[in-house]
Amino acid sequence: MEQGLVQLVSDLQAGERGAFDRFVELYRPKIFAFSYGMCGHREDAEDVAQETLLQAFRRLDTLRAPEALNTWLLRIARNACLLKHRKSKFAPEHEMSLQELMPGKDGEGLPDVPDWSRLPDEELLNAEMGEQIRQAIAKLAPKYRMVLLLRDVQQLSTAEVAAIVGITEEAVKTQLHRARLAVREKLTRYLKPRIAGAPVSP
Amino acid sequence: MSKKERKPGKRRARAQAAPTSAHMDCRELFALLSQYLDAELKPEACSEIERHLKDCAPCVAFLNTLRKTAELCRQYRPAEAPRPLRQEAREQLRAAYQAACLSRKSKVQGSKSKV
Ligand SMILES: [Zn+2]
């Protein structure tokens, strides 16, 4: 994979026949996966993917290290997303405090933490849950959504995300944690009824 | 750990003073859970957390569900895929690409002719 990537970038920069089509074929869906997560609309996400590829070709010279291709593209995509959303109304940025993300208390004043993590895969990996996760991510304020998409969905490192977003690694960690907490909270509300009567597994 | 000045003979009482967090409470642990899951904490903090988890069932349940949440996000792929690239959009991209190749070529030749 890594070898293929290096080859692809050098073919692309050398103007080799077929490199353009291969690159677009491979990276358009990847950029779309990110921009769709950020925008939530297919049309907007396709626009962002197009704008990203366009910018990428225009700045092809500035890509020095082929292994940085992913983060380089995502940084361009991130900027394209921000531009897109400056025009439309974006949900106002809401700072989430840890306090508001702490688990609630049950009737006896004990933390109410239903453990749904051991539900069988059929319950956690189905299309309905996919939709719940999509909605939970979509409801996050943009800055949290961006970090969660890059870090967990795209599986980039803390350092890579910091470079793409232009914030410190500490800030990436803080925002990722809050984003995960908020998604966990949503999933818990959805899954809680399913484990209500079920015996707790050891 | 590494105090620069260590005066022999003068045993400070400080050594016996409670460490900054005698026992990590649920709230402190709560703030660190993602870093714990991502193996971004120092070993001391990890063992503090593990000590707390030994007898705090709600925190264990919380950690389990947070771990699963991150896992589900990692496996998550949007159900939608982009529609096939329209011809005019592809042409727009190809034009930008070809322009970049041309300017690159002329730069390379420019630098070669200087040598
Ligand atoms: Zn606890």
Percent of chain A at pLDDT exceeding 70: 92
CB A161 within 8 A of CB A151: yes
Burial A165-182 (b: 16+ CB within 10 A, else e): bebeeebbbbbbbbbbbb
CATH number at A69 reads 1.10.1740.10
What pLDDT, on a 0 to 100 scale, did the predictor assign at position A89?
Answer: 55
Structure-token pair, residue A57: 């070709």
Residues of A in contact with B80 (CB under 8 A): 36, 42, 45
- Which of A87, A112, A137 is the last residue in one of the domains? A87
Q: How far is the CA of A171 from the CAs of A122, A143, A174, A178, in angstroms? A: 35, 11, 5, 11
CATH number at A108 reads 1.10.10.10
Q: Kindly report, residue by residue over A155-175, the tens digit of the pLDDT.
A: 999 999 999 999 999 999 999
User: What is the span of the domain harbouring residue A133?
Assistant: 98-196
Kindly give the distance from the C-alpha atom of residue B21 to the centroid of ligand 1, in angstroms, as a whole number. 14
Task: Decide if A72 touches B, using CB distance below 8 A.
Answer: no
Domain count, chain A: 2
What pLDDT, on a 0 to 100 scale, did the predictor assign at position A199?
Answer: 52
Look at residue A202 and tell me if it is in a domain: no
Answer yes or no: do A15 and A63 share one domain. yes
- Which of A31, A55, A87 is the last residue in one of the domains? A87
Answer yes or no: do A114 and A75 share one domain. no
Domain residue spans in chain B?
Answer: 9-75
What pLDDT, on a 0 to 100 scale, did the predictor assign at position A4?
Answer: 86
Look at residue A93 and tell me if it is in a domain: no
Query: How far is it, in rounded angstroms, from Cα A35 to Cα A29?
Result: 10
CA distance A66 to chain B (A): 17
What pLDDT, on a 0 to 100 scale, did the predictor assign at position A88?
Answer: 57
Pick from A45, A131, A152: which is nearest to B70 by CB? A152
Residues of B in contact with A171 (CB under 8 A): none
Q: Kindly report, residue by residue over A98-129, the tens digit of the pLDDT.
A: 888 888 877 777 778 999 999 999 999 999 99
Answer yes or no: do A36 and A123 share one domain. no
Answer yes or no: do A52 and A111 share one domain. no
Cβ under 8 Å to B: A residues 104-143: 110-111, 113-118, 124-125, 127, 129-131, 133-134, 137
Answer yes or no: do A76 and A116 share one domain. no
Answer yes or no: do A107 and A179 share one domain. yes
Nearest CA-CA partner of A42 in B82, B86, B99, B85:
B82
Q: Across all residues in chain A, what is the average pLDDT? A: 90
Query: How far is it, in rounded angstroms, from Cα A75 to Cα A69?
Result: 10
Look at residue A201 and tell me if it is in a domain: no
CB B72 within 8 A of CB A124: yes
Answer yes or no: do A110 and A182 share one domain. yes
- Which of A59, A87, A115 is the last residue in one of the domains? A87
Answer yes or no: do A52 and A107 share one domain. no
Kindly give the distance from the C-alpha atom of residue B50 to the centroid of ligand 1, in angstroms, as a whole number. 10
Answer yes or no: do A19 and A56 share one domain. yes
Is the interface score ipTM higher than 0.95?
no
